[in-house]
Amino acid sequence: MGSCDQNHSENSADNHENCGGLHHHGLTSAGQFDSVSDSRLLWSVLLNQALTVAQVIAGILSGSVALLSDAAHNFSDANSLLIAYIARRIARKEANQRYTFGYRRAELIGATINLTLLAVVGCYLVYEAVHRFFDPQPIIGWLMAVTAAVALVVDLGTAFLLWAMSKGSLNVRAAFIHNLVDAAGSVAVLIGAAAVIYLKWLWVDSILTLLIATYILYQVWQMLPEATRILMEGAPANFHFDEMMADLGGMDGVSGIHHVHLWELDESHRALEAHVVIEPTRFEDLETIKREIKLYLTSEHNIRHSTLEFEFAGTSDCHDSDGNLIHDGCS
């Protein structure tokens, strides 16, 4: 297998970076996630699986389809947490010659799966709420209340375990939001159970379900585009691209900049590659110009990994739209 830097040009600002260089720039996955133990996520998985079993048993003993449906919903939650745990473990693997940027995006894939499951559950709950509003089903109020109380304890315990981990990971944050929604749902079900027991308001169950489903779909609407944008190698959200281009083009010794590609490896690591045009008379200043550009990118835009290819003025038209040489006479 070839080395990681075999495709860099001789004028690349990073022509000495290989797989080890990736570690130097902090692009490995090991360091970011060590602050919080993965055991919290694993315990969250086990708690939610145990809750699913309890809800299934309660549903079978009581003959309640509603409890079995809630058990299916919680089973989806547990699977989401399991996906988050597996993706998090994969993301910790070091960069290598096959995956030179590491495995960070495994968490984003996990987040996308989780959010997609949330969307499916939310749509199903909307359907179920509308159906039950027009065709109310018998509800065992006291069993509904007891199960909701147990679920609330588990949901709050899971959210507590995930809270610290959710700050630096879209994947874990999706699971965290999932459990907060579940906890709010458990509170709503407790209130609904009281209405069913004391007021015989069966329609309350449908209204509460519809409200919870709306909130779930709102969260998906907020978070899924972010995960998709990163996976599609889009520029960071709300990034001032024109301002960066103007600042780079106005630097001393820089005649122009083109073929700029900016993307995110994950939520906290940005990368950029670009062709920088300088005057032939400034060849001796190339290293100084390179350092100034990299310092600017790091300090002003938090871009800590940048690959810069330098060209002399008058030769930039030798490249096509992808930055490849058009003919052998170019250099």
- In the chain, the DSSP E strands lie at 254-266, 269-278, 305-312
| Residue 250 in this model has a pLDDT that exceeds 80 | yes
| Residue 124 in this model has a pLDDT that exceeds 70 | yes
pLDDT at 22: 37
Token pair in block for residue 26: 């902090």
pLDDT at 298: 92
Tell me the per-residue pLDDT of 145-181, one tens digit each, with 9 for 90 and over.
888 888 888 888 877 777 766 665 666 676 677 777 7
Instruction: Tell me the average pLDDT across 304-329.
Output: 67
Stronger pLDDT, 277 or 20, i.e. the higher one: 277
How does the average pLDDT of the chain come out, rounded?
74
| Residue 331 in this model has a pLDDT that exceeds 50 | no
Token pair in block for residue 220: 């998906």
pLDDT at 217: 83
Stronger pLDDT, 200 or 169, i.e. the higher one: 200
Instruction: Tell me the average pLDDT across 10-22.
Output: 40
Stronger pLDDT, 221 or 143, i.e. the higher one: 221
Token pair in block for residue 47: 């708690």
State how far the Cα of 289 lies from the Cα of 297, in Å rounded to an integer.
12
Cα 78 to its chain centre, rounded Å, is 18
State how far the Cα of 2 lies from the Cα of 128, in Å rounded to an integer.
56
Instruction: Give percent above pLDDT 90 in the chain.
Output: 12
Packing angle between helix 39-62 and helix 65-91, nearest 10 degrees? 170
Using the structure block, give the residue that is written with the tokens 């190698």: 233
Classify residue 45 as exposed, middle or buried by CB count within 10 Å of its CB (0-12, 13-18, 19+). buried
R_g of the chain, CA atoms, integer Å:
27
pTM above 0.95, yes or no: no
Strand partners, 305: 271
State how far the Cα of 155 lies from the Cα of 213, in Å rounded to an integer.
17
Which H or E element spans position 226?
Answer: helix 203-231
Stronger pLDDT, 286 or 170, i.e. the higher one: 286
State how far the Cα of 319 lies from the Cα of 331, in Å rounded to an integer.
10
State how far the Cα of 237 lies from the Cα of 218, in Å rounded to an integer.
19
Of 326, 327, 281, 331, give the one whose Cα is nearest residue 309: 331
Report in angstroms the alpha-carbon separations of 199 from 4, 146, 195, 253: 70, 18, 5, 79
pLDDT band for position 15 (cuts 50, 70, 90): very low
pLDDT at 303: 92
| Residue 284 in this model has a pLDDT that exceeds 80 | yes
State how far the Cα of 283 lies from the Cα of 168, in Å rounded to an integer.
42
Contact status, residue 4 vs residue 18, Cβ threshold 8 Å: yes
Of 243, 160, 230, 148, give the one whose Cα is nearest residue 197: 148
Q: Which domains does the chain have, with CATH numbers?
A: 31-231 (1.20.1510.10), 241-318 (3.30.70.1350)
